[in-house]
Amino acid sequence: MRHFLFVGALAGAVACEPDAMIVRVDVRWMDWPAEVVANVPFKTHLIVAWTCGAMGFRPGAAVDLSAVTFEPYYVEQVNAICALDQPVSLDVFGSLDTAGVVPGLRADFPRTYEMRAAANAYALQLGLNADGLPIRTFGEVKVVVVSIPERSPYPRNAAGLAYQVRDALGCLRINPSGLYPTRSTIVIENPVDTVTHKTAFVRGYIYAPQAPVCGQDIVFHLVSRN
């Protein structure tokens, strides 16, 4: 099985303040509500690269008339000594499991916004630094103008680098790149490849099916992979 590759984020040094610099990183995984109410802020789950000693994380969220874009970065102390007391949980290795708050999206009628983020998209192989990371479309969010009744937080759209693992019951699960396969995996409702488990960029959604799949009430439905 080919597991995810943990690569330290490439630093793009931009003057910020004395003895500090901006370290831009890529988004490895993102999931967000499939539907939100206009002008109401919402949270997006992000898994981003993390470099040893990096501090002061900023999700770098920006909104225009058609899309939400995340370009995350850290304010890294130039002379910082790398320590193991950074805010990284035991479920994470080489990444930061965090959230980005999106300000309320404007809409006078039901419409969609694209969800975008800085992603490696082969940039490392091309030799680009982190400032050259392309902006990749992860998916979209539907914006409605009336209140959504109180309900389950699902479905959630999801996309990013991930790989497959097989659990003790023989069921295939998806695991976002950057997380240990402990509590982070979720059963794949429609696996199309039961042999190859290599890392790929996937798009899909997380929801509650009518009947449990592999004994699970919440599953991941694969839409595309490349």
Residues 48 and 77 in one domain: yes
**Average pLDDT of adjacent 10-residue blocks, the chain of 226 residues:** 29 44 89 95 92 83 96 77 49 77 94 95 48 87 84 89 90 88 84 80 96 95 93
Domain end residue (candidates: 124, 144, 164): 144
Residues 33 and 139 in one domain: yes
DSSP 3-state of 132 = helix
Residues 135 and 24 in one domain: yes
Residues 166 and 210 in one domain: yes
**Residue 172 belongs to a domain:** yes
Q: Exposed, middle or buried, 218 (CB in 10 Å: 0-12/13-18/19+)?
A: middle
**Residue 84 belongs to a domain:** yes
- Give the number of other Cβ atoms within 10 Å of residue 87's Cβ: 11
Residues 29 and 86 in one domain: yes
**Residue 6 belongs to a domain:** no
Q: What is the pLDDT of residue 82?
A: 59
**Residue 10 belongs to a domain:** no
**Residue 4 belongs to a domain:** no
Q: Exposed, middle or buried, 133 (CB in 10 Å: 0-12/13-18/19+)?
A: buried
Determine how β-strand 135-144 pairs with β-strand 35-37: parallel
Helix ranges, 101-178 (H): 123-126
Residues 43 and 105 in one domain: yes
Residues 109 and 207 in one domain: no
- Written as one letter, the residue type at 22 is I
**Residue 133 belongs to a domain:** yes
Q: How many domains does the chain have?
A: 2
**Residue 1 belongs to a domain:** no
Distance CA 208, CA 216 (A): 9
Residues 205 and 115 in one domain: no
Domain end residue (candidates: 144, 179, 208): 144
User: Strand order in 35-37's β-sheet?
Assistant: 35-37, 135-144, 111-118, 67-70, 61-63
Supply φ then ψ for residue 178, to 5 degrees.
105, -10
Residues 35 and 117 in one domain: yes
Asked if 36 and 101 touch (Cβ cutoff 8 Å), the reply is: no
Domain end residue (candidates: 110, 144, 178): 144
User: Alpha carbon of 45 to those of 17, 18, 77, 101, 168: distances in Å?
Assistant: 29, 31, 26, 9, 27
Residues 132 and 162 in one domain: no
Domain coverage including residue 213? 156-225
Q: What is the pLDDT of residue 92?
A: 57
- Written as one letter, the residue type at 42 is F
The DSSP symbol for 38 reads T
Q: What number of residues does the chain have?
A: 226
Q: What is the pLDDT of residue 12?
A: 35
The pTM assigned to this predicted structure is 0.81
